[in-house]
Amino acid sequence: MTARAISLESISKTTIFLTLVLASLCYATNTGDWASVAAGGAFSVLNLHLIRLLVSRLMTPAATGLPLSRVVAIKLLVLLSVVAVALKRLPLDAVSFLVGAGALFVAIVLEAVLLGEPVAGSGDG
């Protein structure tokens, strides 16, 4: 298997593309809720960028305070709380939201297996 270099920007773009495709399919086939799919995809892209921002800031030599794992856990709890409130208060379909949020996982797998740049000298050859 060939090792591939992954890019967070590429993962983000692929997630957005997959979300748009999924939301369009939901709208065209009148299956599920296209707006919930779009909200789920937007949530997952936002979460990816927040994690990147937190990790890059907390990995600098000048960073002090809570350990990285605690900060990421707190961020996750806050975002999950926001999602729980949004699913309760807004007219979002939970299953469609999860389909949209799952686009990030699919994008990561696609990037690692197919879309990422092959790393020189890593083939099975």
- pLDDT tens per residue across span 93-107: 989 999 999 999 999
Q: What tens digit of pLDDT does each residue of 31-42 get?
A: 999 999 999 999
Residue type, 85: V
Q: Is residue 38 part of a domain?
A: yes
Count the domains in the chain: 1
3-state secondary structure of 73: helix
Q: Whole-model pTM above 0.75?
A: yes
Q: Is residue 54 part of a domain?
A: yes
- Residue from 1, 22, 3 nearest 107 by CA: 22
Give me the residues paired with residue 118 across strands: 4
Q: Is residue 82 part of a domain?
A: yes
Segments forming the whole domain that contains residue 54: 4-117
Q: Please give the pLDDT value at position 12.
A: 93
What's the CA dihedral at 42, 48, 51, 56 to 10 degrees?
A: -120
Q: Is residue 9 part of a domain?
A: yes
Q: Is residue 122 part of a domain?
A: no
pLDDT score of 122 more than 70: no
Q: Is residue 125 part of a domain?
A: no
**pLDDT band at residue 120 under the 50/70/90 scheme:** confident
